[in-house]
Amino acid sequence: MGLRSMLIRNWDLHRQELAVLLGFLGVCGILAIIFTFFNRPLHKVLRSLNIMRAQKLRSVFRELRRKGFHLAGMIYPTLFYFGIKMGLITRFHFSLVLGVMSFVAICVEVTRFRWPKFQQYVLLIIGKIMRKREYKHTSGMTWFTSGIFLSSAFFHPLIAMTSMWCLIFGDLMAAIIGKTFGTTKIFGQKSLQGSIGCFFSSLVITLFGFLFFGRLSITDSLLLATVASLTATIAELYTHGRINDNFTIPVSACLTTTLAVKIFNITLPIIIKKISQTDQIEQFEQIEQI
């Protein structure tokens, strides 16, 4: 069977899932563009409306610019799940690419710490989305890539994808809600309101993932979503120092969710099955007849 026939077959078999996943990617892409390239005009408009103090508004929009790359990171779980479903890639090849990217990112980090001139070029390019402490420590983007790499390489694709969602959406909502409404500090600068936002946003998106993509029961989906969301919230809240929550959120969520699957004996779906060429031809002929 040719590549075109295989793509048509897999698209027809998984049309709804792939369409929703691509829709997610499109929405995240639009928001990432707005947060990154239209950050300043939007900030001026809201500042003119006097909806909050200027200093707090500036802090929120500075965080939104940084979180733009989080939303752009939606391309990782999308390519991962979409590629496997369509039969375009294997987990090994996807993880290999991410492993190389992580290695390159680490090399860039080491180089910029050793050569100030190179550091200036790096800060010129991505300095606006880096925190000040990252000027002298490993940047969040390197931790982000490394966390995604470990998640995709060693865990079930469904668990890896939902854990990546916890990082992308949970961390985003924790930052936005925490910066805007965070008045009750519970650990350093982290607030109760931000943690609640992280938990419930992660819960909603992972529950949808396990129900829609995993076809699990409501009970199993709610259990796994709660475990992943609670773990992500704790990781986001208590990760500090040189280790970044861009790494701890997806990896810890993968670990605890996998443990929950083992403890409660939950059967996860086979993302893509290896079938013979004869079966592929028969399935394709059935689809053509329909």
Mind giving me the DSSP string for 112-140?
HHH-HHHHHHHHHHHGGGS-GGGGTS--H
DSSP state of 169: I
DSSP state of 211: I
Average pLDDT over residues 31-41: 80
Q: Residue 285 — very low, low, confident or very high, per pLDDT cuts 50/70/90?
A: very low
- Nearest to 179, CA basis, from 189, 170, 169, 187: 189
Q: Residue 193 — very low, low, confident or very high, per pLDDT cuts 50/70/90?
A: very high
The residue type found at 114 is: R
Q: What is the pLDDT of residues 46-86, one digit of tens each?
A: 777 676 676 777 777 777 777 777 788 888 888 888 888 77
The residue type found at 243 is: I
SS3 88: coil
Q: Is residue 289's pLDDT more than 60?
A: no
DSSP state of 243: S
Alpha-carbon gap, residue 146 to 241, rounded angstroms: 17
Lowest mean pLDDT among 3-12, 121-130, 190-199, 278-287: 278-287
Give the per-residue pLDDT at 274.
Answer: 45
Q: What is the pLDDT of residues 133-157, one digit of tens each?
A: 788 888 888 999 999 999 999 999 9
Q: Is residue 275's pLDDT more than 60?
A: no
Give pTM, 2 decimals. 0.83
Q: Is residue 201's pLDDT more than 50?
A: yes
Alpha-carbon gap, residue 104 to 134, rounded angstroms: 17
Tokens (6 digits) for 211: 């129900």
